[in-house]
Each structure stands twice: as structure tokens, then as C-alpha cells.
Structure 1
Amino acid sequence: MHRTFEEALQEQGRSDNRFFITPTIFNNLLWNAVVDSGDEFLLAQYSILDEVPIAFHPVSKGYDELHNLETDETLGVLRWFSAGYFNAVRREDGSLQLNDLRFGTFSGRAEDADDYIFRFKLRDHGLTEPYGFEVAQGGPPEETAEEMMMDLFNRARGLSPEDSPS
């Protein structure tokens, strides 16, 4: 699988980027990739049953949302835990969420804050105090869990040219 993603990156002129791949939950048909392309991350999903090329989707790192990124103790632990494959997003309620991108997203495109599979909700205590964080969240919100899991399993069945996402 590593070679499959590596070749797709080379075909798209991104062969010098650091990347991480892992199977999605509950299967080994559908794989996630996260690529560190410098200013942003690229996310992709690939099923061994796909009939179309791998599509990489840009995702903001969101580091401008964070203060003291290099010195904050909590962010340092989360950066270490995620091996540097993390981003920050602002949730609809205004709170800040850090996502471990190695676990991917349900859609493969990071459509919203709930799409990330493994996430931490940060508590901002101000510029001079380290962030706090709530218990790690994983999986879809309860109200959309069934639909999101069905979408993930359907995606594992592969894409044909007719149903390839843009």
C-alpha cells in the first residue's frame, strides 16, 4: 500500500513529502493517507477495489489558531503523540479541536470538525497558561454515527469512474 500512495504522489508531483498510511477502522480494504505538504496536509482514501486514481484533498494545518505552538506543554505532548500529523480546527461552538490525522476522517476530506476520527477538544486558559484538553474523542457523533459508518463501509467497496468524488 505504501508504494501505491507513493506512486500517486509522484504522479501528482509531490514525491518529496512525508506521509503516513494506515488502514481504516474494521477493515484492510480502505486505507487513509495523510501527507505533510508544508503549508497544509493532504488527505486521501484508497480502497484496493478502486478503479480511479487516488484523490488528495488539502486540509489546513490551522496552526494560526494556536498560541505558543512550540512552547506549550500540552501541545507538545499532542504533537509528540500524533507524530506531527495533527491539525487544529475551530468547532461551531467556537472551541478549538486538535485532530490526530493518522487516524484519518470518515469522508477522507475533513468535511467538518466531527469528520475526524481521533480528536481532542482543547481548553484555552490564556496566552500565559498551557492548554488543557478534554478526554479524547473518537468516532462519529452519536446522532450521525450510523450514516457515517455506512458511508465509510460503502467507500471501502471501491470507486468506479462514475462515482468518483471531485
Structure 2
Amino acid sequence: MDSLTQIVLGAAVGEAVLGKKVGNKALLYGAIAGTIPDLDVFASHFTDTVTALAIHRGFTHSILFSVLFAPLLAWLVSRYETYKDFKGWAWLFFWSLITHPLLDAHTTWGTQFFWPLELRLAFKTIFVIDPLYTLPFLIFLILTMFQGRTTKKRRLYNGLGLGLSTAYLAVTFMLKDVAQTQFKAELDKQNFSYKAIDTRPSALNTILWNANVDTENTYLLGRYSFFDSQPIQFEAYPKNHQLLGDLIQNEKVQRMVAISEGWYTITLENEQLYFNDLRFGVLSMEPQSQDFVFKYLISTDASGEVFFTEQEKATPQGKKLIADLWERLQGN
């Protein structure tokens, strides 16, 4: 999830654990702990694209990381804070750290919660930025901050924030199930034969859902809104995996295939190969758009080493997409 959401969650968890003892300092340290797992993004400055992608939401988003770093942070804070209860601080940091990857596990990218096991939890029930999750949570957190440390209102407001946000997460599972059922029913009606289906919410909401459908030689991409009255339309994207040729044997290419969980297409544009990660869809509502959210140029140097370079996303594309998504979620 986005940084603001993780700050709010971490602060609320910190308050729940130690707010009665240390007041707003629990919010502060919880907020700090809630952002720490995302420090893995700095890996992109020190390593290649493929390795950075593999590292992202790996070790720092695992149970092991929370277990190891919670006591370390507790020891550090208890050395200079007037409140010296090591166990209390350890619990605050543990729960503020571990709820971060638990929340991220609901997104499309997911987390390697059980690192070093190569098992990624990705429920794909919520977009990385969802105002319905974050804004009510933030309002209750602000109300909490202005209550006395031991007052019932403080616990009430914080409890409401945690309770409503958690309930919303639970509802997203039901919404995903309804959307997936609709996709499958429509695929059957249109006599599509497919191997697998992958569904996720579109940007900023849980009303409009996207589906990737794996067929023999193509991927079908479709959208469904709970306000739809017309049949779902699916667009076919050729896999073109054969365009990789001998590159499919390359270690980096194989790692990218694994990272994308097999949901990728290869396109040839101006005699250059591109790797498109289908899990996050396209940046346009235009038919057969090739503006994939995550698109990587595949290149090689004189020695034959392979490089993946992420293509920049233009801001106007994003703005137009939001406007188009708003119109589309209101129904077809």
C-alpha cells in the first residue's frame, strides 16, 4: 500500500499496543515502524532492475524481519525514552512492522511473508491506493491524537479506525469473489476455453474489476463493474513468448517470468523487444492499448549480458486513465 496508508496503520497499531502508557509517542513510533519495511525500494539504486524487483517486498516484508528487528528497535528506543519497558516497546514494533506486509499481501504485488521461502502472498483484493480504506482510518487516527492518553474516547476512536479498515478488507474478498464469478460466467457464455483467470480491482476502488485470462496463445483482458448492464468484453493480447528466442534460457529472463508469475507478453516495437507484466494491466482504456503499467525494454550489451529497463509512465496518461476509469466504473 501507499506510504500514507502504512503510516496510518502503523500509528494505529502502535496506539493500540502502548498508547495508554506513552500517549502520542506510541502513534509516532508506530508510524515510523509502519514505513520501515518499504526501505527495500532503495535497492533499485544499488542493483539491476531484475534483482531490485526480486528484493521488493521480500525480506523486509517477512515474519522473520519483524521478529529480528522488533527487539532491536525496542532496545534502541528504551535506552533514551523515559518509558523503559523493553517488552512493551518490542510488542509495539513487532505489531507495527508485521501489519505492514499483512496489508500489502492484499495487493496485486503481494509479499514474501514467509521469506526465505519463495512463496508470495497476493490476495489481489485491494489497489495500492484506496481512499475508502485510508481516509476513514486517517480521520479516526486524527481524532485519537487529540484525546487524553487514558480516556475512553481515545480507545474508541482508534478502535473504530482499526475495526472499520479491517472490515473493509474483509468485504473486498467478497467483492472479488462476486467479480470473479461474473467473469467466469461470461467466459462460459462466450465459449472461451481457458487455463487460468486472475482478477484484481482497478485503481482507487473496488467497484471496477480487471481480469487476465490465460488461453492457449493469447491472454484475454476484461473489465467488470458492479453497475454493468451489458456483457463483458474481452480483448485478446498475443503472448508472443516465441519472440524471446534463445533469451528464454537467460537467468534474468527466467527470473522476470517468475516475478510476473507467468502473466507476461512480449512485444516487438521498432526492432526492440519489450517485456510486459500483465498483472497490473494497461494505462489506457483504449482498445488494444500497449501502454502497460509495467513495461521493460530488453537489451543486451557486447558481452551478451541481458538488461531490463523499466519504461517511464507519462503523467498525462495517468490522469486520463483516472477520468476514463471513473466513467467506466459507472457501468457499460
SS class of match (1:10): helix
Task: Indicate conservation of the 8 Å contact 2:225/2:330, yes or no.
Answer: yes
Aligned residue-pair number: 153
Question: By how many angstroms is 1:95 displaced?
Answer: 2.8
Could you tell me how far 1:41 is from its partner in structure 2? 0.9
Distance 2:198 2:250 in 1: 25
Q: Does 1:55 align with 2:233?
A: yes
In structure 2, the partner of 1:122 is 298
- Tell me: CA distance 1:10–1:39, structure 2 relative to 1, closer, same or farther (3 Å): same
Equivalent of residue 87 in structure 1, options 265, 269, 272 = 265
Say which of 322, 327, 332 aligns to 1:149.
Answer: 322
**Partner SS, residue 242 of structure 2:** helix
SS at match of 2:322: helix
Gapped regions of structure 1 (runs ≥ 5): 160-166
Cα 1:67–1:158 shift into 2, 3 Å:
same
1:8 aligns with 2:181: no
Is the alpha carbon distance of 1:153 and 1:95 closer, same or farther for their aligned partners in structure 2, counting shifts above 3 Å?
farther
Which letter maps to 1:129? G
Alpha-carbon spacing, 1:8–1:156, altered in 2? closer, same or farther (3 Å): same
| CA distance, structure 1, for counterparts of residue 268 and residue 205 of structure 2 | 30
Please report how far the alpha carbon of residue 67 of structure 1 lies from its aligned counterpart in structure 2 after TM superposition: 2.3
Deviation string 1:69-126 (CA, Å, 9 cap, x unpaired) is 54121211111111101001123x54322111111123274323x2x12222222347
Bigger strand share: 1
Q: Name the structure with the higher helix share.
A: 2
Q: Are residues 1:74 and 2:252 paired? A: yes
TM-score by length of 2: 0.42
Q: Deviations over 1:31-85 (max 9, x none)?
A: 1111111111111111111111111111111223212254121211111111101
Equivalent AA in structure 2 for residue 148 of structure 1: L
Conserved? CA contact 1:43–1:108, under 8 Å: no
**Residues 132 and 30 from structure 1, CA distance in 2 versus in 1: closer, same or farther, beyond 3 angstroms?**
same
Aligned amino acid, residue 249 of structure 2:
T
In the alignment, is the contact (CA less than 8 A) between 1:88 and 1:98 conserved in 2? yes
Identity of aligned residues (%): 27
Quick one: which of 132, 142, 155 aligns to 2:307? 132
Runs of 4 or more, structure 1, over 4 Å off, are none
Q: Any residues of structure 2 matched to 1:30-49 within 5 Å, and which?
A: 30-49=208-227
Unaligned runs of 5+ in 2: 1-178
- Retained in 1: the 8 A contact 2:273–2:299? yes
Structure with more relative contact order (C-alpha pairs < 8 Å, separation 6 or more): 1
Between the aligned partners of 1:144 and 1:104, the Cα distance in structure 2 is 13
Matched, 1:19 2:197: yes
Higher gyration radius (CA): 2
Q: Structure 1 residues 99, 74: closer, same or farther in 2, change over 3 A?
A: same
